Structure 1
């Protein structure tokens, strides 16, 4: 969280457009924080995107779209919400359709456990790049803490709870384990 994933995604999409290419950007229907089909960055950038549900066959969808108009890259937002099957479908998009896939998402949840989509992406991805964020102490933040109404770090609950800056904070491991969300 707070590492610039959405900003980088929007920039990558723009770069393809600027070169006269045709990117396809999608985001999961479950993430409607900024509105359905809107990828929004904290720095104020937005991108209208198409949505997919967890029962969407991404390979078949991309293949059908590619038959109508060439797709030069398939960009997926919030990739942690992909199903195992969808991750394998993305591998087919690359291997069988020859279309590059760029997927942006979180690796772990607020309990420091891998999301299923992230797990399978880590298993199959040709390349993984980590975007960095900063803890309140200035160290690298790679933990996503969910905080309750009192500002305390939550340790249990449903894995998926869509929320923004008010519910989550990026922390270094030390402060995550200590439960210190703020100075």
Structure 2
């Protein structure tokens, strides 16, 4: 009896280690002589288009996902001789229909699909890609990190501009640690700006 593939969504706030996890999973497959397809959305260009890069400096090339791309057709066309898994970084930027296409990859091609990304945006609302993954994924797993202001678990991230928290604006604004801080619910509503200034002075 063959093992049935599944659709996974591993999510967490910024700084929870999602990119290092996808790099680790890819390495583990490849160290066993298995082929993986690593992909990342076009919009994420923090470290260059088509790059999966962790905060600790590890990086690898990835196939770029375009917003209008049919991911089922892409994987089906690339599936030579056979992928052991498809790994998707920054999955929150997927279109909802692309998540459904990944589900077809699992169900019709029997290829595991592991997606990694944020659940909530900086305004504490679900990204559309993450929302669809939560609805259809076979397995959900939270990757944890701590709030920038206390020891609680960070549940989302807060966007800052010139040291001031931002509660409105474009949902997608690409940035790193200089722009976003992982925060708990309490400090999303009431960030400790004095502590933030002290951290910036160090």
TM class by smaller structure: over 0.9
Instruction: Normalising by structure 1, report the TM-score.
Output: 0.96
> What per-residue deviation string (whole Å, max 9, x for no partner) do you get for residues 132-153 of structure 1?
111131111112100011x121
> Matches of 1:152 and 1:64 in 2, distance apart?
47
> What per-residue deviation string (whole Å, max 9, x for no partner) do you get for residues 79-109 of structure 1?
0000011000000000001000000000000
Q: Which has the higher contact order (CA 8 A, sep 6+)?
A: 2
Instruction: Normalising by structure 2, report the TM-score.
Output: 0.87
> Matches of 2:15 and 2:194 in 1, distance apart?
15
The answer on 1:28 being equivalent to 2:41 is yes
> Matches of 1:69 and 1:40 in 2, distance apart?
27
Displacement of 1:179: 3.4
Structure 1 unpaired stretches of 5+:
none
Moved more, 172-181 or 161-170: 172-181
Structure 2 unpaired stretches of 5+:
1-13, 196-202
2:70 match: 57
Question: Structure 1 pair 182/107, CA: closer, same or farther in 2 (3 Å)?
Answer: farther
1:47 match: 60
Question: Structure 1 pair 4/32, CA: closer, same or farther in 2 (3 Å)?
Answer: same
The answer on 1:165 being equivalent to 2:177 is yes
> Aligned residue pairs: how many?
181
Contact residue 26 and residue 76 of structure 1 kept, 8 A: yes
Displacement of 1:177: 1.1
> What SS is found at the alignment partner of 1:75?
strand
CA RMSD of aligned residues (A): 1.0
Displacement of 1:50: 0.8
